[in-house]
Amino acid sequence: MTSILEKVDVFAGLPSESLLELEALAIRRHYAKGVPVFYEGEPVEHLLVLIEGRLKLFHSNDSGREYVYGVAEPGLSFGGIGLLTDEVRTVCAEAEDDCVFLSIARSNFLDFVATHPQIKDALLAGSIRLIKHLTKTVSDLALNDVYGRIRRVFEMLAVNTPEGDLIEGQITQQDLADRVGASREMIAKVMKELVAGGYVETGRRRILILKKLPERF
């Protein structure tokens, strides 16, 4: 018998028996699409393991503007480092689809870390990946213009198909604006130019990249 936790970033390589025991202590939680899962600044009380659905990670300001910095897929966990260092959540999260989590309470997780100290190496590796991603994102925001950022988001989301690089799923101009940290109007302008230039083709729930996007706008 194997535990679902074996496929999770921080638990990779740990013995099945221990993971099954930990899984038995976890509580399954369902979040409907659009429901907030945690807020920036909130104390971390649980390790949340995403096992189904996608989770939107974002920042927002007082006037309701959002900046979406990523959408997480199943197999990722949230709050491990926060529990270890007694920190608060550094971003907000909302269910992008209907989501299922395994929720592991603080004391259960900390007991597990005490008996399996090797998990700290996985947590270290995870925070390094996060730091590198954040460094790229902040440099991108500071040094690239809106067009350059759109290009990078397209490169991140596109999947290679025989037709060309394809971005599938419902992505509105507002979604793109929230992803690159710009206004919807600015995105509309850039997209219009890209379509006119024959670089991209937009359709229902899809954006097809026809040829390599230009370096500069």
Binding site for another protein (CB under 8 A): 59-61, 65, 67, 69, 81-82, 84-85, 87, 90-91, 117, 120, 123-125, 127-128, 130-132, 134-135, 137-139, 141-144, 181
Q: Which is nearer to another protein, 28 or 65 (CB)?
A: 65
Q: Which is nearer to another protein, 44 or 200 (CB)?
A: 44
Q: In the chain, count H helices and then E strands.
A: 7, 12
Smallest distance, another protein to C-beta of residue 129, A: 8
Smallest distance, another protein to C-beta of residue 3, A: 24
Q: How far is CA 160 from CA 71, 155, 167, in A?
A: 19, 10, 9
Residues whose CB falls within 8 Å of the CB of residue 69, separated by 6 or more in sequence, listed in order: 57, 58, 59, 91, 137
Among 32, 21, 15, 72, residue whose Cα is nearest residue 49: 72
Kindly state the tokens that stand for 146.
């809106």
DSSP string, 147-182: HHHHHHHHHHH-EEETTEEEEES---HHHHHHHHTS
Is the CB of residue 33 less than 8 Å from the CB of residue 63?
no
Q: Which is nearer to another protein, 60 or 202 (CB)?
A: 60
Smallest distance, another protein to C-beta of residue 90, A: 4
Smallest distance, another protein to C-beta of residue 33, A: 24
Smallest distance, another protein to C-beta of residue 148, A: 9
The distance between the two most distant Cα atoms of the chain, rounded to a whole number of Å, is: 60
Q: Which is nearer to another protein, 85 or 107 (CB)?
A: 85
DSSP string, 80-126: HHHHHHT-B-SSEEEESSSEEEEEEEHHHHHHHHHH-TTHHHHHHHH
Smallest distance, another protein to C-beta of residue 46, A: 17
Q: Which is nearer to another protein, 52 or 185 (CB)?
A: 185
Q: Which is nearer to another protein, 27 or 134 (CB)?
A: 134
